Amino acid sequence: MIVTRTGFVAALVAAALTSATALAADPIETRKATMKAIGGAFGGVLVKMVKGEKPYDAKEAEAALDTMIAKADSIDVDVLFAKGTATGGDTAAAPKIWEDLAGFKAAMSKMKDTLPAQAANVGKDAAGLKVAIAEIGKTCKSCHDTYRLEKN
Ligand code: HEC
């Protein structure tokens, strides 16, 4: 019993290590793709609904928010923004991230907390979605303003 359990735990640890290594293999590509997916759900679905470029649909809005939550939660700053990934891969990450890692992590947590906190608004109606977009958008902007470089 104990041996089986230990073996099982060891296998889990090995699997976790393998996936962490796989992620760390290309942290810049991974964080860009993750941000792109977050931006796609936000700009491509939620903002369009608020602007009236797409009809409001509670289920679709909630699905877009779920995508954002899952993608945001998948970001482990220590892995995707590991030391040594400040340059290369056409990254727009600002050096400020590594000068103020605590501030950057706080900005990440703010987004991760705000997304699920806005679920009720997102699923309510177009007016609720508008409130949610404003609240969520603030968390993107405040991080980008400080921790992302302007790209031309
Ligand atoms: C805690 C900081 C932080 C938060 C919060 C944040 N971002 Fe980002 N975002 C970044 C950084 C840093 C980059 C640049 C990554 C790179 O190029 O390596 C980025 C890049 C992007 C990109 C460009 C991806 C590409 O194609 O290269 C998009 C789109 C984006 N973010 C959308 C969003 C949206 C939408 C939100 C809010 C819902 C958001 N971000 C919240 C830090 C953040």
Give 49-69 pLDDT, tens digit per residue: 999 999 999 999 999 999 999
What's the pTM value of the predicted model, to 2 decimals? 0.87
* Closest ligand 1 atom to Cα of 43: 35
Select the more confidently predicted residue: 152 or 138: 138
How far apart CA 119 and CA 131 sit, in angstroms, is 11
Say if residues 80 and 31 touch (Cβ distance below 8 Å).
Answer: yes
* Cβ 143 under 6 angstroms from ligand 1: yes
- CATH superfamily label, 26-147: Cytochrome c/b562 (1.20.120.10)
Say if residues 8 and 1 touch (Cβ distance below 8 Å).
Answer: no
When computed from its CA atoms, the radius of gyration of the chain, rounded to whole angstroms, is: 18
Q: Check residue 10 and give its pLDDT.
A: 61
Please write the tens of the pLDDT for every residue from 73-117.
Answer: 999 999 999 999 999 999 999 999 999 999 999 999 999 999 999
Q: Please determine, for residue 23, whether its predicted confidence score (pLDDT) is greater than 90.
A: no
* Cβ 81 under 6 angstroms from ligand 1: no
* Cβ 56 under 6 angstroms from ligand 1: no
Domain ranges of the chain: 26-147
Say if residues 135 and 74 touch (Cβ distance below 8 Å).
Answer: no
